[in-house]
Structure 1
């Protein structure tokens, strides 16, 4: 019987660049297969989030086995290949109770969200204000602002911000210090 207190878990999170999801999926299948075949590996799972974050959770018989996998030529080659279309954060945890903090929307710095949102709002606001003034310029200003704000909020919510965040996610999630994924603050 295996003793859990000596086992190790490797959690490797990757953020997929927009438009590279299919390529990543093919790579992830090869990565999972290679991890299953490594010495000391005890299985794993892949958790996929809708915002392009994928978490690989792999269990090993020991911390040494996990480090051997991390340092192996196979994993290094696969990781270098994936670096072309994703960003990684990984850590090893040991013992019978494992706790890790995963990268998530909460890890994105507020100033980056503010800047991305402003970059979307400003040009949209200029266009919508001009359009409302041209079509409904005779209405009182509060009515014009109501029309503009309703239309702008809808366009931002359903079209602009989802696409913008998808395109900017490598920049939003990247740790400015080392280029890896920022993990959730704790």
Structure 2
């Protein structure tokens, strides 16, 4: 009968193989780029935004998986992550640079075309005088939604209750701006 240490290299090798399938970038996927429908959805989304800090400057190449703030699955090349939080807070914890580096404007409903989106972070931006879009409640695969200190106003849409996979929801307001209410939630 073989001892447990004899199986250790086999177990380690098996774990490494599975990890490379899930997270690695093998030769088979080297030429895969984002889907055209997802690229177009992101471009429509960008059109509604003003970007004084030029954070979305990279959003011109053909492959949206290479764009700053966009994460794609290495297995399927679908967009699964959109991380557009204002990075200035990492350098200036007091938020003194927020006005100079935030995204503002209207959030386009084209985001519903990102059918594999699991992570959406729009925190520390300035979407003033608009409510949280109701279509966010249709992003069925969403696991993480951060809209903290993003300037949203009005009622928190009950449609967010449709997000059955949601594990993290952050609507905190650390720097003022928006005023969210829960009058319509039960």
Provide TM-score, normalisation by structure 2.
0.23
Name the structure, 1 or 2, with higher relative contact order (CA <8 Å, separation 6+).
1
Mark the structure with the bigger radius of gyration: 1
Provide TM-score, normalisation by structure 1.
0.23
